[in-house]
Structure 1
């Protein structure tokens, strides 16, 4: 086989692989958007900067999945009964370039550790209601 044919086959294989990876990312994003109880939210932990992702409600946990990953497993899981809402604030100028447009920064505490989630205000209303609507600790199915 001549050199031009081998080069063409290598480029075609690389292009095909690139199309498959992009397709997998788009399919995952579509699936996450259609799932019940999901919303776009960037996260900032004390040890890192802002990362873009999607949060998902479950019965006992708030799960955060990275948008730049193909893994179906959440990168962070926060126990609902251990989450406390400290409040919210508008995003600063430097934060606006790292989070979605029009988002607010929600300040949470999970087991004594602070964390920030950036989300739309209407999503914040749902999140705070979800956290506050859980059963009282020690009663129901928390533990």
Structure 2
């Protein structure tokens, strides 16, 4: 009969493998959704990696390193406005792309958000915003 240490070790390995498989499956699912793109969320000087997806009425954002089935953030499409776009700098800790500052509405409350995305994702974001029915406000 195996000792308690061996049982605990086997249990730990099984839990890690199951969690890793769930994370990999979630990541693949998010990356393959229609309208999804890699998008990092800025929090001061820190960035959180993630995946964003265009919805009919919202822009959804999921954390990259998470098992959560629901998005971590959700912004209303009709309240989303691009305020500023600048090329990412090496100190931003990211590769080639844009840091986009947006004014948004999340759950009815106004907020500002910084997103890092590729040039292609930025073009898609601005097109998606401009295609909003009854759009009011500028897009830069």
> Which position in structure 1 is the counterpart of 2:121?
123
State the 4+ residue runs in structure 1 displaced beyond 6 angstroms. Answer: none
Aligned-residue CA RMSD in angstroms? 1.9
User: 1:74 aligns to what SS in structure 2?
Assistant: coil
CA distances 1:2-33 after superposition (whole Å, capped 9, x unpaired): xx622111111101111111111100000101
> Which position in structure 1 is the counterpart of 2:19?
21
Distance 1:60 1:77 in 2: 10
CA distances 1:42-81 after superposition (whole Å, capped 9, x unpaired): 01256x8311111111100001111121111111111011
Distance 1:122 1:44 in 2: 19
Q: Which moved more, 1:83-92 or 1:19-28?
A: 83-92
Runs of 5+ consecutive residues of structure 1 not aligned to the other structure: 139-143
Q: How far is 1:102 from its partner? A: 1.9
User: 1:117 aligns to what SS in structure 2?
Assistant: strand
Q: How many residue pairs align between the two structures?
A: 132
CA distances 1:84-132 after superposition (whole Å, capped 9, x unpaired): 0123111122212xx4x22221121114532111010011000000001
Is residue 106 of structure 1 aligned with residue 100 of structure 2?
Answer: yes
Instruction: Indicate the structure with greater strand content.
Output: 2
> Which position in structure 2 is the counterpart of 1:77?
74
Q: In 2, are the aligned partners of 1:45 and 1:114 still within 8 Å (CA)?
A: no
Q: Using structure 2 for the length normalisation, give the TM-score.
A: 0.85
Q: Which moved more, 1:125-134 or 1:107-116?
A: 107-116
Distance 1:8 1:77 in 2: 44
Q: In 2, are the aligned partners of 1:41 and 1:117 still within 8 Å (CA)?
A: yes
Q: Specify the structure having the higher radius of gyration (Cα).
A: 1
Runs of 5+ consecutive residues of structure 2 not aligned to the other structure: none
Alignment of 1:30-45 (within 5 A): 30-45=28-43
